[in-house]
Structure 1
Amino acid sequence: MKKIITLLMLSLFIISCEKNDDNTPNTQVELTNKLKKIYEESDLPGFSVAIVNDKNVNYQNSYGYADIKENIEFTSNTIQNIGSISKTFIAVAIMKAVEQGKLDLDTNINSYLPFEVTNPYHPGLPITVRHLATHTSGILDGPAYGRSYLLQNPSAVNVSEYPEEYQSYIAFLKTNIEIDDSVFLKKVLSQTGEWYTQDSFSENAPGTHRKYSNIAAALAAYVVEEAAGISYEEYIRIHILRPLQMDATGWGFDEVNMENYATLYFTKEFEVPRYFLITKADGGLITSSTDLSKFLIEMIKGYKGKGTLLSEGSYEEMFSYQSNYGISVAKEGIFWGIENTGEIGHSGGDPGILTFVSFDPEKNKGQLFITNISEGFDEDIVQSVIEIWDTITQNNF
């Protein structure tokens, strides 16, 4: 199942970044040397970082390998899945659809869907777009969610070649079949669906309890698709990727330059077999550090009222604490985490993937991190990532 590095860990990173000491890098050379030292002492195959403001990329660098066996270096143009950071693109899509009058945050999602989704424990209570976008819908990642992960070439994958702790997961992936995301969502969430179970829903009423949900995010993207009348993927191309010239970014292997695609790793010795997601909107966007920097710069601009993708009011709504049915959803915007420090961000985690993006509006500064390995069972990897995140946040430029 999907490994999630939650915003709780991102919060720990941010808290740790608040300290300032004599080791704070004062120049780009010092920062580069410090990151290089962390890499050399780590178990990371490769990674890329960037530091931006609302106008420019102030620092960007990459370390290690996109492919160890082929000796291919990890660069700022290396592409890979970014996991749940993909959800921040859903956020922009939702707010754009609201601007266009195609969507309302507080309307029952069944007004847009071709099949009905209701919480079996609370059949009379509507689930709204705002609920989906703040993880308060009551829709859970039940047992069927794992069916959304597909191997690109399952017949070529020999389960016995992998460490024992990964074998059951890979064997499970080999059994999954490719279907359209709308079909998948109906199978899982509609009461007439083949994979429907009450385990996909919380006993809590919609809008009363927060529980992170990937499938609810995928459903939110599908709501956008139905409301807009075009595919979600095309909606993102029109309203985000093309305006920001994110030319290296796409939703599938056929949309991107696979020569730049990173090999993903469980450990430096064991590659993750290439996979993709049926519910690609919640975690399957493929991009590079260079392209993601463009998106991050736009988010900072948007917060400051200077964005180009959305109106000032839409950005304000997206980055504001949300409320549902009288409850306050602490630290949650529209698919963005909002920390007590004022930092806004999101994280991503999947097999062979670990990503972070955040910005501090007061400092007019944002940063991102992408690596081609998951934390798995290795605490050393987690510690290395924390050190990298602290380092790119602690600097004087």
Structure 2
Amino acid sequence: MRQRIRHMALALSAAVVAGTGVLAPAQATASSTSASSTSASSTSASSTSRPDSVRQGLEALVRADGVPAALATVRDRDGRIRHYTAGAGDLATGAKVPVDGQVRIGSNTKTFTAVVVLQLVGEGKVDLDAKVDDYLPGLVRAEGVDGRTITVRQLLQHTSGLADYEGLLDEASLRDRYFEPRELLDLALGQKPAFAPGEKFGYSSTNYVLAGLIVQRVTGRPLAEEIDRRVIRRLGLRHTYFPAAGDRAIREPHPHGYRKDTPDGPLGDFTEMDPSAGWAAGQMISTGSDLNRFLSELLAGNLLPPAQLAQMRTTVPIGDTGAGAGLGILSRPLSCGGVYWGHGGDIPGYETRGGVTDDGRAVAVAVTTVPTDYGVTERLEGIVDTALCR
């Protein structure tokens, strides 16, 4: 949920540096790897293989940065899939991190929501350049805000100027609090807009609350059902789901998630929570393998018609980083040249980063807390760069 794109313009540049400077050069091993340890001293499946930079990066996050656990799934250039874990899946028991375990994926949910909207565009039921008011008449009205001036495209690309409701939430209260989407919208509409519609990029989860409401208005069905029918079941993502209202647990094997009430405070278990504050912007649960498959199938044209996929991949710049924001998807530069496509997400207890390249490489990395030091997130993105450039 808490993607913190307001910091990403700086972090993206730093992540490229981290991918080549902080971590050792990538080395491929001879066989699939599954490394697991409660002390971050994981081992390769091949004792004769050279040091694996992805594994080393995950271990460093646990050992040096105090992350409880880290896990990753990587698909190499040759199609080989590797799974990694480091740290403890449960700090109370010392249990191992489940390989390819489920995690809360936060703002990666936005890409799923954007796919559904763009499918509706392809079906002629939604127009990207139509106004929000055309689908949700009278709903977006506040000081300086008018749904008659904001387009659907601006919602998906974060160029609407709408204030972000996330900064108005008390994270500690999210464990048990249920939010209706309209409550989230009302929080945002109580704030002045950040800029005029279309003026520039400005990340706001409020955009995706409105996108989700448009899906429901146009289809007459709950957003969760549309994502399940149009994306999850279509691709056979067996470990991905949109939790139902009141569903506070994670269904399948998973590492526990943790958060701190204060930067210097102890880690508290935050695995179970009501994720409704994320909704269309951040409510979903998945695994690294499923995220890699979702993004790979998306870029391969197996979810959207060519015209809508091209629209999704048309970006606006995020500062001067070389990164760009498409419609529910971001492009980031790689230290080895080219870009990768993905999103990333934060929600109390979990942070995820990753993406795929046009030639089929893929990586999904997760840690079991949202770091209070954004430098840790930069190092996490450096691991993504390392995995994709090996």
Q: Same fold (TM over 0.5)?
A: yes
1:357: Cα distance to partner?
Answer: 1.8
Compute the TM-score of the two structures, normalised by the length of structure 1: 0.76
Q: Could you report, residue by residue, the CA deviation over 1:109-167 in whole angstroms, capped at 9, with x for unpaired residues?
A: 111115421463264951111111111112111588417xxxxxxxxxxxxxxxxxxxx
Match of residue 39 from structure 2: none
Residues 128/388 of structure 1: CA separation in 2 closer, same or farther (3 Å cut): same
CA–CA distance in structure 2, aligned partners of residues 250 and 19 of structure 1? 37
Q: Deviations over 1:303-351 (max 9, x none)?
A: xxxx22111222111112259xxxxx98221021224543323221232
Give the corresponding residue for 2:331. 338
Q: Which residue in the other structure is 2:384 paired with?
A: 389
Q: Which amino acid aligns with 1:212?
A: Y
Provide the secondary structure at the position in 1 that maps to 2:153: helix
Q: Find the residue that maps to 1:335 and give its secondary structure.
A: coil
Q: Which residue of 2 aligns with 1:13?
A: 15
Deviation at 1:45, TM superposition (A): 1.4
Cα offset, 1:15, TM superposition: 4.8
* Correspondence for 1:165: none
| Aligned partner of residue 243 in structure 1, secondary structure | helix
Does the CA contact (< 8 Å) of 2:212 and 2:223 recur in 1?
yes
**Structure 1 match to 2:164:** 141
Q: Which runs of 5+ in 2 are unaligned?
A: 31-48
Answer whether contact 1:11 1:339 (CA < 8 A) is retained.
Answer: no
Q: Is 1:201 aligned to 2:193, yes or no? A: yes
Deviation at 1:358, TM superposition (A): 1.9
Letter matched to residue 178 of structure 1: Y
- Which of 84, 92, 97 pairs up with 2:115? 92
Q: Which structure exhibits the higher relative contact order, with contacts defined as CA atoms closer than 8 Å and separated by 6 or more residues?
A: 1
Kindly state the Cα deviation for residue 213 of structure 1 after the two structures are TM-superposed. Answer: 0.2
Corresponding residue for residue 263 of structure 1: 256
CA distance in 1, matches of 2:69, 2:156: 32
**Identical-pair percentage:** 23
Q: Which residue of structure 2 aligns with residue 326 of structure 1?
A: none
CA distance in 2, matches of 1:55, 1:23: 18
Work out whether residues 300 and 364 of structure 1, in 8 Å CA contact, stay in contact via their aligned partners in 2.
no
Correspondent of 2:351 among 326, 349, 354: 354
Q: Retained in 1: the 8 A contact 2:324–2:332?
A: yes
Secondary structure, aligned partner of 2:362: strand
- Asked if 1:368 corresponds to 2:390, the answer is no
In structure 2, give the amino acid aligned to 1:64.
G
Q: Partner residue of 2:302?
A: 308
Q: Which amino acid aligns with 1:38?
A: A
Whole-angstrom distance in 2 between the partners of 1:200 and 1:80? 34
SS in 1 for 2:218: helix
Match of 2:311 among 306, 317, 331: 317
Judged with a 3 Å threshold, the aligned counterparts in structure 2 of structure 1 residues 335 and 129 are, in CA distance, closer, same or farther, namely same
Task: Determine if contact 1:272/1:351 at 8 Å carries over to the other structure.
Answer: no
For 1:11 and 1:74, the matched residues in 2 are separated by: 30
Question: Contact 1:250 / 1:256 at 8 angstroms: preserved in 2?
Answer: no
Q: Does 1:225 find its partner at 2:216?
A: yes
Shift of 1:21: 9.8
By how many angstroms is 1:3 displaced? 6.1
CA shift for structure 1 position 236? 0.5
- CA distance in 1: counterparts of 2:82 and 2:311, whole angstroms: 29
2:236 is aligned with what amino acid? Answer: Q
For residue 281 of structure 1, what is the aligned residue in structure 2? Answer: 280
Instruction: After superposing the two structures, state which structure 1 stretch, 350-359 or 85-94, moved more.
Output: 350-359
Q: 1:222 to 1:27 in 2, by over 3 A?
A: same
- 1:76 equivalent among 79, 90, 99: 99
Residues 33 and 84 of structure 1, relative CA distance in 2, 3 Å threshold: closer
Please report how far the alpha carbon of residue 259 of structure 1 lies from its aligned counterpart in structure 2 after TM superposition.
Answer: 4.7
Assess if the C-alpha contact under 8 Å between 2:97 and 2:254 holds in 1.
Answer: no
SS in 2 for 1:349: strand
Q: How many residues are paired up?
A: 351
For 1:105 and 1:91, how far apart are their aligned partners in 2?
11
Q: Unaligned regions of 5+ residues in structure 1, if any?
A: 148-168, 190-195, 302-306, 324-328
Q: Are residues 112 and 249 of structure 1, via their aligned partners in 2, closer, same or farther at CA, if it must alter by over 3 Å?
A: same
Paired residues of 1:118 and 1:126 also in contact (CA < 8 A): no
- Which residue of 41, 63, 76 maps to 2:86? 63
Using structure 2 for the length normalisation, give the TM-score.
Answer: 0.78
Q: For the structure 1 residues 386 and 142, does the alpha-carbon distance in structure 2 shift closer, same or farther, using more than 3 Å as the test?
A: closer
Aligned mates of 2:61, 2:294 — CA distance in 1: 26
CA contact under 8 A between 1:55 and 1:297: conserved in structure 2? no
Any conservation in 1 of the 2:258–2:267 contact (CA below 8 Å)? yes
Check whether the contact 1:322–1:334 (CA below 8 A) recurs between aligned residues. no
CA distance in 1, matches of 2:303, 2:290: 15
Task: State whether structure 2 residue 126 is matched by structure 1 residue 103.
Answer: yes
The separation in 2 between residues aligned to 1:54 and 1:100, in whole angstroms, is 35
More displaced stretch, 215-224 vs 342-351: 342-351
How far residue 367 of structure 1 moved from its aligned partner, in angstroms, is: 1.6
Which residue type is aligned with residue 63 of structure 2? Answer: E
